[in-house]
Amino acid sequence: MSNTHQEAIKQFLSLMGNVDEQLNDTFQNMHHGNPTENLARFLKARDWDVQKAYKMLIDCLQWRIQNEIDNILSKPIIPADLYRAVRDSQLVGLSGYSKEGLPVIAIGVGLSTYDKASVNYYVQSHIQMNEYRDRVILPAATQKYGKHISTCLKVLDMTGLKLSALNQIKLLTTISTIDDLNYPEKTETYYIVNAPYIFSACWKAVKPLLQERTKRKIQVLQGCGRDELLKVMDYSSLPHFCRKEGSGSSRNRSNGTIDNCFSLDHSYHQQLYNYIRHQANLIESGRPIKQGSVHVEFPEPDPEDTKIAKTIESEFQRLADQNGICNSLNGLKVNGD
């Protein structure tokens, strides 16, 4: 780390020494004994501008307090059938670890439908996976590999991406904004696999809008990306949709829940769900666990994120017009109205 960066962290630490007790408590819950690494993430996200990074972190801490994020891992989505429906329509899972010890998060972008529960449940589940990653997965990886691990790899499967994905732009922008503002710099590399033409067209339009720092993190791989991914992880950690050409994601639980990390029956989701239920029982101590989603305040999207979402919308519209299927998009609820 350069002297300039060390000085920025020193200034940032000094500013954090003046925050009130409530903000400091949630900051401690967030950094898990590594305040310097946490400050560095926020500084990176704001190009090492101390004042901007400080404002970003204070906003994040206030968001955590207002939405009781410190307690979100004690609020299970129940009944279990509802949680299974969320898992079957929000395809995310932990497939393993890279050779460097980084968790490998698999995401079925193209086949996630987000249509089995309300938006609040999907946002709640996403935040719970973020918090479980930061509080349980990363500390366990740090211990196992004998070095500090604070980031992950993400493999995004575009199998099944269709123009109807336009329906989900608003929800995906919300989730992306929550990550950008409150969990910055947690992903080392994004690997895009099984990309159809529709993705390639959108990527061409969106890429120029991305910051250089973000662009450097994204790798679009050929086909299912297996050969490239095997350079950074073992076969056992490959997401199931990267195992062979044309395999693609699957929502079908009969394909083998042991390998399909999207399934609620996969060990990762079983451990996560059991952890949340256990935390709830500790707090409720015998009382029935409350049903209902956690209502998290959605932050205002960054102007750059809004611009990217608009670019994707217009690119999808152009492709629809080009394919002569504009009629099928009539009445589409792009803004959730």
Over residues 28-76, the pLDDT tens digits come to: 999 988 899 999 999 999 999 999 999 999 999 999 999 999 999 999 9
The whole-number pLDDT of residue 92 equals 98
Across the chain, how many H-helices and E-strands are there?
13, 5
Averaged pLDDT, 320-330: 58
Q: What is the pLDDT of residues 128-165, one digit of tens each?
A: 999 999 999 999 999 999 999 999 999 999 999 887 77
Q: How many CB atoms lie within 10 A of CB 274?
A: 11
Residue 267 has which token pair? 């060990």
- Comparing 8-22, 137-151, 178-192, 197-211, which segment has the lowest mean pLDDT? 197-211
pLDDT-derived band at 300, boundaries 50, 70, 90: confident
The whole-number pLDDT of residue 252 equals 41
Identify whether the C-beta of residue 20 lies closer than 8 Å to the C-beta of residue 12.
Answer: no
Q: How many CB atoms lie within 10 A of CB 39?
A: 24
Identify whether the C-beta of residue 242 lies closer than 8 Å to the C-beta of residue 193.
Answer: yes
Beta pairing class for 92-97 and 103-108:
antiparallel
Q: Which domains does the chain have, with CATH numbers?
A: 3-67 (1.10.8), 75-245+256-280 (3.40.525.10)
